[in-house]
Amino acid sequence: MIKTMFVIGTRPEAIKMAPIIMQCKKYSRLISPIIVAVSQHDALLSQALEIFNIVPDHNLHVMEKEQTLFSINIKILQRIEPILDKITPHLVLVQGDTTTVFACALAAYYKRIDIGHVEAGLRSFDKYNPFPEEINRRLTDALSDIHFAPTETAKKNLMKEGIDKNNIFITGNPVIDALYLILKRKWVDNLKQINWKKRIILVTVHRRESFGKGLLHIANALKTLANNNSDIEILFPVHPNPKVSFMKKKLREIENIKLFEPFDYITFVNIMKRSSLILTDSGGVQEEAPSLGIPVLVLREVTERPEAVRAGCVRVVGVQTKKIVVETERLLHNKVYYDKMAKSINPYGDGKASERIIKAILRKYR
């Protein structure tokens, strides 16, 4: 029996890990999943786990008000050590680029436990964009023993850094698996305040590198777009971080900008499906939306997901007000340009990444 510890700190990690955990049920005689919720983002994580009926075996409860990167790292290392000692897993599986991912990989390394990295090999090649995620991911790859790269580009990045190609598996991204699972579920629309007859623009922002002036520029762009285009409805689920939530004050008086608390994942997927386009700094949305044929404008200066840019379904526009407005209105008013983005092929997988990941683990550790 392969004891595999899944460590999950944030909602995106839960969404991407859930299909892999569910896949373990098919091999219950061969692989034993142990779920550790780090709770770097407590409420949002619990919300996502509940949707997939996943109950953690352990919870580190590290989240606190005004938490810093220093405090998160310290608490994770201190609180996960006794759990690693008690369980002695064969493999610790981490996903992505959060502080949870790096800290848990480092803890497993200290205990000489193998590390598997889901979504390995993504690179922006700018250590401060995204911050601190770019370095978290690079360091986690350096620590890991088995790498699950979503694309050929990610595999090439790993090999350039000296990772043995025999330890790299191209799997696609399990967020597509999660997306397909959610699309099969019935959704009850309780959002009566949304005018679905208008063209919907979905907005999400939360990146540290945009805190301050970047978010102000984005807020000004949303104001301009709403005022210039009466036929659109901007839906903005506002991240609870106080450094993001201040945007509510900037935008709450505008009739066709609707502000919400963060949506649960089922609601979010169904809103994505009904959107005309998406403005986001999220990595996951850059992977999900192309599967739905929805153009994405990335509110960041760089992206570690260049495959979608090359495919034509994603465009990086930065955080300057004028550029955001120009690129958004180009999509709103130029049908040929819009259709070209909407009909591009998603490079991030076919919904079978979780199956490939589990089979790779079984081949390596049985």
Residues 257-311: tens digit of each pLDDT: 999 999 999 999 999 999 999 999 999 999 999 999 999 999 999 999 999 999 9
Q: How much is the pLDDT for 139?
A: 98
Q: Mark whether 239 is an active-site residue.
A: yes
Q: The whole model's pTM is what?
A: 0.94
From the list 137, 239, 300, 305, the catalytic residue is 239
Same domain assignment for residues 126 and 215: no
Same domain assignment for residues 288 and 311: yes
Q: Where are the alpha helices (DSSP H) in the chain?
A: 11-24, 42-51, 69-87, 99-110, 133-143, 152-160, 174-183, 213-228, 242-245, 247-251, 265-274, 283-288, 306-311, 321-333, 335-342, 353-365
Same domain assignment for residues 54 and 22: yes
> Is 229 inside any structural domain?
yes
DSSP per-residue letters across 148-171 = EESSHHHHHHHHHTT--GGGEEE-
Q: Mark whether 217 is an active-site residue.
A: no
pLDDT for 42 beyond 80: no
From the list 133, 141, 288, 304, the catalytic residue is 133
> Is 183 inside any structural domain?
no
Q: How much is the pLDDT for 27?
A: 95
From the list 11, 79, 97, 117, the catalytic residue is 97
CATH of the domain at 236: 3.40.50.2000
pLDDT for 58 beyond 90: yes
Same domain assignment for residues 203 and 165: no
From the list 13, 58, 114, 119, the catalytic residue is 119
- Domain range enclosing 222: 199-342
Q: Mark whether 206 is an active-site residue.
A: yes
